[in-house]
Amino acid sequence: DAGVIQSPRHEVTEMGQEVTLRCKPISGHDYLFWYRQTMMRGLELLIYFNNNVPIDDSGMPEDRFSAKMPNASFSTLKIQPSEPRDSAVYFCASSFHREGSPLHFGNGTRLTVT
Amino acid sequence: AQTVTQSQPEMSVQEAETVTLSCTYDTSESNYYLFWYKQPPSRQMILVIRQEAYKQQNATENRFSVNFQKAAKSFSLKISDSQLGDTAMYFCAFMKHRGANNLFFGTGTRLTVIP
C-alpha cells in the first residue's frame, strides 16, 4: 500500500491567491481527516469526513477554508483567499471506521503565504 | 473536552541508553485509546505504539514500551537502546472510544539522541 498521498509537498503563494491541497487516502479507509500544524497551536483538527460526508468542520478557521471529498479516493482543502497566517504544515490522515483504529498520515504539505 | 499534556518540550539521551517521555491527559471517559506518534525531520507522522485503556497490560513494540497508569491518567513512553534514528518529535495523542477516530494531540517532546 502506498499510504496516504498528499500533494504538493511544498506550496509557496502570495497573499490573496487561491491554494488547493490534495489528498488520496489509503484504499478502504472510511475516515479522512485534515489537520494543521503550527508552532503556536500544534496539531489541530480542521475537518473530518466519514464515507465522503463531512461530519465535523468546527475546526475550520473561517469561511476562507473549504474542504471536499467527491469520492472515496480523493479530497481537497482549499484556501481562498490565502493570508500569511495560513502558513503551516497541513496533514491529511485516514483510518478505518473501527473504534481505536489508528490514523495513518500523509507527508504533509508545507504552505508558505507571503 | 480532552486535553493532553506533554511537560517536557525537549529531551536528550545518549545512544544506546534508555529514555522516558511523559504524557498526562484529562478525560471523563472510562474507555479510550492512547497513541504515541513520532515525527522525524522528514515531517512524516509515524505511529509508534497504541494502548487500549481497558487493557491492563502495557503495550510494547520492540524497543518502545509504555507505562500506562489509568488512575493517574499517565501514559509515558520508554525507548530502550536509543538509536540515532530515534531523533524526532514525539506526540502523545488521545482518541475517544466512541464516535469519530479523531486524535487530540499533546504539544510534543523533541528528543535528540546523542552519538
Query: Which residue has cell 513494540?
Result: B61
Give the strand pairing for A109-113 and A104-105. Answer: unpaired
Give the strand pairing for A53-56 and A42-50. Answer: antiparallel
- Searching chain A, which residue's CA lies closest to the CA of residue B54? A100
Interface residue of A11, A26, A58, A105 to substitute, partner B, most B CBs within 10 Å? A105
Question: What local confidence, expressed as pLDDT, does residue B62 receive?
Answer: 96
Interface residue of A57, A94, A103 to substitute, partner B, most B CBs within 10 Å? A103
Is the pLDDT reported for residue B99 higher than 90? no
Does residue B37 contact residue B90 with C-beta atoms inside 8 Å? yes
Give the strand pairing for B32-39 and B19-21. Answer: unpaired
Cell of A64: 476562507
- Most distant CA pair in chain B, distance: 44
Q: Is the peptide bond before A81 cis (omega within 30 degrees of 0)?
A: yes
- Most distant CA pair in chain A, distance: 41
DSSP annotation of A109: E
B35 touches chain A (CB under 8 A): yes
Q: Grade residue A83 by pLDDT with cuts at 50, 70 and 90.
A: very high
- Searching chain A, which residue's CA lies closest to the CA of residue B98? A99
**Radius of gyration of chain A from its Cα atoms, rounded to whole angstroms:** 13
A110 touches chain B (CB under 8 A): yes
Does residue A90 contact residue A15 with C-beta atoms inside 8 Å? no
Residue type, A64: R
Average predicted confidence (pLDDT) for chain A: 95
List of chain A residues whose C-beta atoms are within 8 Å of the C-beta of residue B37: 105
Give the strand pairing for B109-114 and B10-14. Answer: parallel
DSSP annotation of A79: E
Question: What local confidence, expressed as pLDDT, does residue B18 receive?
Answer: 98
CA distance A99 to chain B (A): 6
Spatial distance between the Cα atoms of B54 and B68, rounded to a whole number of angstroms: 11
Is the pLDDT reported for residue A1 higher than 70? no
Is the pLDDT reported for residue B88 higher than 80? yes
Q: Shortest CA distance to B85 belongs to which of B110, B113, B61?
A: B113
Render pLDDT for B20-59 as a digit per residue (tens, 0 to 9): 999 999 998 889 999 999 999 999 999 999 999 998 899 9
Q: Which position has the higher pLDDT, B107 or A98?
A: B107
Spatial distance between the Cα atoms of B43 and A106, rounded to a whole number of angstroms: 9
Average predicted confidence (pLDDT) for chain B: 94
Is the pLDDT reported for residue A72 higher than 90? yes
